[in-house]
Amino acid sequence: MQKETILGVDVCPYNYKQLMQEVDRDIKEKKKSFCVAINPEKIMKAQDDPELKELLNKATYQIPDGIGVIVASKLTKGNITERITGVDLMLHLCTLAAEKGYKVFLYGAKPGVANMAKQELEKQYNGIQIVGTIDGYEKDDEKVVQAINRSGADILFVAKGSPTQELWILEHMNRVNASIYQGVGGSFDVISG
């Protein structure tokens, strides 16, 4: 896959179907992949923040989140045609998990929220295995890593706000045994109602 570069920030020219095929293969091959949603705000912020640019470019899949990204791709004769928002990606990963029996772990948000989000997702995605939750204010990272590893999770959603969640993922993914990593911002709050 040839990534496109918009003002120095990489973006993958995948639509949902292609991305889900890639992710599915990564899980089967036990390959670790980090997904990050790229919107025009992040691209503009990265212009004055080299660390943010580096962080975004370290991800495996930079997904095109925003019409501005599609327009920029068109202007540079790129191939990005479909917008994939961070929340939609999370929900598509839940569909994949429910269909294929992949295990999901929810890490982040205030105490109790991830557990409520788990219950909502279990109502909406028949058969989904959400194998653990932990709140985003747990100070002991080692405890978090061990809880995720004990759960046998394949997919880890981290909801601690951006860029904290992305930094957490990059710092810990070498010790976490999950395959797919996504920072999902305030999604657990939204899903839990």
Residue span binding ligand UDP (CB under 6 A) among the ranges 8-16, 40-48, 61-69, 183-191: 183-191
Does residue 104 interact with ligand UDP by CB under 6 A? no
- Under rule CB under 6 A, which residues in 116-145 are in contact with ligand UDP? 136-137
Distances (CA, A) of 42 to 48, 53, 133, 137: 10, 9, 28, 25
Residue span binding ligand UDP (CB under 6 A) among the ranges 7-15, 34-42, 73-81, 154-162: 154-162
Does residue 110 interact with ligand UDP by CB under 6 A? yes
CA 114 – CA 132 distance, rounded (Å): 9
Long-range Cβ pairs for the range 44-50 (8 Å, 24+) = 44/7, 46/7, 46/8, 46/9, 47/7, 47/8
Residue span binding ligand UDP (CB under 6 A) among the ranges 25-33, 72-80, 115-123, 156-164: 156-164
Shortest distance, CB of residue 43 to ligand UDP, whole angstroms?
A: 16
With vertex at residue 134, the alpha carbon angle to CA 158 and CA 23, rounded to the nearest 5 degrees, is 35
Shortest distance, CB of residue 49 to ligand UDP, whole angstroms?
A: 15
